[in-house]
Each structure stands twice: as structure tokens, then as C-alpha cells.
Structure 1
Amino acid sequence: MTDFRDQLKSFLREKGEDRDWLAARMGVSKKTVDNWFSKKPIPEKKQKLLRELMEKEQQPKQVEISMDFTPEQLEMIRQAAALRGETPGEWCERAIKALTAVSVALNDYHRLGGKGG
């Protein structure tokens, strides 16, 4: 079984967060979090809270978004949705998720030293 520290490291990587973020969420200093990633044992109570945080953060968040469209834009969305067998709301949700993925990929590219064009 994977060591809890490895699970915690993977969680932070997947979230795109760092030890400062984790310290703030847990109400401890960054030095305490650094100690958790060294070979010092993580107290059981803190492990329980960390597991709860990891579980909570991995649950999808429901967000309601309201946007205004011109009649022409709305008609284009309706047509595009119909072509895919989706409702306009489903089409918009998929489009927003795709745009978010592109944005994350671009942020990663720039963070890793890529050059924009």
C-alpha cells in the first residue's frame, strides 16, 4: 500500500497546490507541513484531518453560472447542442470544462518555462 506521505504528495500535485496552501488549510505552519514530508511521523489526529481534507477537496463542486447571450448566440448554442444530442445547458457545461482544461494546460506550460507565441 502507498505510504500516506506519498498520497499527500500526489494530492498536492493533482490539486496544483503547495505546502503553504496545505499549511493554511490545516491551520499549522509551513515548517510543520515540511516536517510531515520528512521522516517524522504525522500525528494520527492530523492524518485523520488530512484525509478528510483530501476527500472534501476531491469532491466535485457545483457552481451555477449565469450568462447573457444575444439571440443569435443563443441560437448558435441551441444548434450546436442539437447536433450533439445535448441540451443547451449540457453543451455550455461541456464547453466551459473544455476551456478550463485549455487554460490549465496553458498555465502549466508557462509555469514550466514554455514561451508564448
Structure 2
Amino acid sequence: MIYLFGYTKTILFSKIENMPEMACQIFLNAKNALMDEMKSSIRKFLALTKMTRDEFADLCGVSKSQVDKWLSTVPIPRARQRLIIRIMKEEYAKQARLAQTKNPNSIHVPVTPQKYEKFRNEAERHGLTVPEWASEALDALSSIKSRS
């Protein structure tokens, strides 16, 4: 204990001693938030693509029960996360190509689940669906005069 002008500094030292624990907790909270975001992205992906967990498990090279565990409490290994992100991008692109052949007068832009959620929120704010909002946004952008 150090005395400085009659005041003890034990509070300061106890806070410093707890700093590694606090830093560790902050790191774990951030890591858990990222994991929750990943799991949420997978759930949205499965819903948007109408893919079953069995089909998703086959693409990931694991069992359906492993996918079930990932979507509950078991952390997804980093290597599997990278694989899952690649699978989701490829599947979104595949669905966009399929939709393009069904309707050649449409535009399909693959986006991450996070961006889609952002677009959905903005569209909802305007009382529109995502395709309606995107169409209006593109129309507004095409009306901007070019400087050249």
C-alpha cells in the first residue's frame, strides 16, 4: 500500500491488477458477438435460400447434428467459418444466376447477409420491399447528371 499525502492507493492497484481480467472479458464479449452474428447470418441464409440443415451440412462436410450444435452453443471453428462464408457467397450467386435466367429484365446483386439486413431495414422504413427499394434507388442514381 502506498501513501500519498495521506491517501491510500489500494483502489488504484486493485483496478490495475484486474485489468488483464477486464481485457480478457472484453475480448470474449467481442468474440461472442461475432459468433452470434455468424450464427444469425447462417440462419438467415438458410431461410432465404430455403436450404435445409441437412443440405447445408453436406456442403460444409459435417453432419446435421454438428450444424445444429453450431447454431446453438458450440462455437464454429475459424476454418469452418471461412468455408461457410464461401459457401454462402457461392449459393447466393447461384440463386441470383438462376433468378436472372427466369427473368432477364432483372438485376441480381449478391450481398452479404449483413448488407441485406441493412437494405431490408431501409426498405421497410420507406414501406417498400427490398426489390422495390433497390429499383427506386437505382432509378434515382441513374437520374444524377454526369460531370463529363
TM-score (normalizing by structure 1): 0.51
Listed one character per residue, the Cα deviations across residues 8-40 of structure 1 (whole Å, up to 9, x for unaligned) are 000000001110010111111111111111111
**Structure label with greater radius of gyration:** 2
Matching of residues 93-108 of structure 1 within 5 Å: 93-94=104-105
Alignment RMSD = 2.6
Indicate yes or no: 2:103 matched with 1:42: no
TM-score (normalizing by structure 2): 0.41
Corresponding residue number in structure 1 for 2:136: none
- Against the structure 1 CA distance between its residues 49 and 93, is the aligned structure 2 distance closer, same or farther, given a 3 Å change threshold? same
Q: Give the Cα separation in 1 of the matches to 2:73 and 2:98.
A: 38
Residue 61 (structure 1) shift: 2.2
Unpaired segments ≥5 residues, structure 1: 66-91, 95-117
Residue 3 (structure 1) shift: 1.1
Residue 62 (structure 1) shift: 6.2
Q: Give the Cα separation in 2 of the matches to 1:32 and 1:50.
A: 13
Residue 58 (structure 1) shift: 1.1
Corresponding residue number in structure 1 for 2:92: 58
Listed one character per residue, the Cα deviations across residues 64-92 of structure 1 (whole Å, up to 9, x for unaligned) are x8xxxxxxxxxxxxxxxxxxxxxxxxxx7
Corresponding residue number in structure 1 for 2:48: 14
- Against the structure 1 CA distance between its residues 14 and 41, is the aligned structure 2 distance closer, same or farther, given a 3 Å change threshold? same
User: Matched residues, percent identical?
Assistant: 30
Q: How many residues are treated as equivalent by the alignment?
A: 69
